[in-house]
Amino acid sequence: MAINFDLNDLQAFRAVVEQGSFRKAADTVRLSQPALSRRIEKLEDALGVKLFERTTRKVSLTQAGRGFMPSVERLLDDLDVALLGISEVASTRMGHVTVACVPSAAYYFMPRVVARYHRQFPRIKVKVLDSSAHDVL
């Protein structure tokens, strides 16, 4: 199966689940509501399933969405751990960390992560490589 979505799409999915609303989720991930909706549609198209049941007043996960959510949580949590919590020992060492990610993550997500990481571990140099999802994998 080709991966035709990115981390931002997964983060948008998680935000809608956590916020229970496209409007609130859009605020959380700093997107307009139409842009967030396009991310969710892109993810649903890539997976070939509908993840949410939507009405004008309510958003709920479909069965496929409920099954997908734990995997998304694990993936995003593992990424956070890998990027932000390498170890307390790293703060006393000098070194280099190289992270590969898709271009959209390099542009939208990684600057904040790298800045936060640099504040916590100022003596560690971070190199970000952006490439296609296939190459990153």
- φ and ψ of 55, to 5 deg: -130, 175
Structure confidence at residue 91 as a pLDDT band (50, 70, 90): low
CA distance 62 to 95: 45
- Which CATH architecture does the domain made up of 87-136 adopt? 3-Layer(aba) Sandwich (3.40)
Structure confidence at residue 87 as a pLDDT band (50, 70, 90): low
User: Residue 25 to residues 53, 101, 103, 136: CA-CA distances in angstroms?
Assistant: 15, 23, 22, 27
- Is residue 32 within 8 Å of 26, Cβ to Cβ? yes
Q: What pLDDT, on a 0 to 100 scale, did the predictor assign at position 31? A: 93
Share of the chain above pLDDT 70, in %: 91
User: Residue 136 to residues 10, 21, 41, 83, 117: CA-CA distances in angstroms?
Assistant: 16, 31, 23, 15, 21
Read off the pLDDT of residues 4-33 as tens digits, 9 standing for 90 and up: 889 999 999 999 999 999 999 999 999 999
CATH number of 7-79: 1.10.10.10
Q: Which part of the chain is CATH 3.40.190.10? A: 87-136
